């Protein structure tokens, strides 16, 4: 379910970026309200995804999908330029996102703090064998 939340968050991220462009410096009320709502929605769904995904994976995928979606739709909606360099960069971003998805899929329950939170083992960490602060004197 975390990956579905992450995809929803990514859609909000694209809407956020495109609506921000349409605000004209937050002088247009409609796009400004849409920008705020999309930002809130994106962060909300990202937070749901991060309940089980590692933050490094979740945030990177969120921004990667958001970046690619924003450039592709910016090209269509705002008639922004597209060139071979951008296409190569998109392919690399998509490859990185897929790589992170596969790495997360084939990881074990012992991988990372998100897995520990998901399995309830985060609170079962052993106490430190030595105190952090030694008494003076």
pTM check: above 0.85? no
pLDDT tens track for 102-128: 887 777 555 555 555 555 544 444 444
Residue 93, pLDDT score: 86
Residues 53, 61, 4, 106, Cα dihedral to 10°: -50
Convert 81-107 to b/e letters by CB count within 10 Å (16 or more is b): eeeeeeeeebeebeeebeebeeebeee
- Tell me which of 39 and 102 has the higher pLDDT: 39
């Amino acid at each position: 379910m975390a990956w579905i939340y992450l995809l929803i968050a990514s859609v909000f991220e694209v809407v956020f970026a495109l609506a921000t462009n349409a605000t004209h410096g937050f002088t247009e009320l409609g796009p400004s309200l849409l920008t705020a709502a999309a930002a809130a929605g994106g962060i909300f769904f990202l937070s749901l995804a991060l309940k089980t995904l590692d933050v490094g994976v979740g945030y990177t995928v969120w921004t990667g999908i958001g970046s690619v979606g924003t450039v592709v739709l910016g090209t269509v909606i705002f008639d922004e330029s597209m060139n071979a360099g951008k296409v190569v960069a998109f392919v690399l971003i998509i490859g990185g996102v897929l790589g992170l998805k596969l790495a997360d899929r084939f990881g074990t329950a012992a991988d990372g703090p998100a897995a520990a939170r998901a399995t309830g083992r985060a609170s079962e960490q052993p106490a430190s064998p030595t105190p952090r602060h030694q008494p003076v004197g």
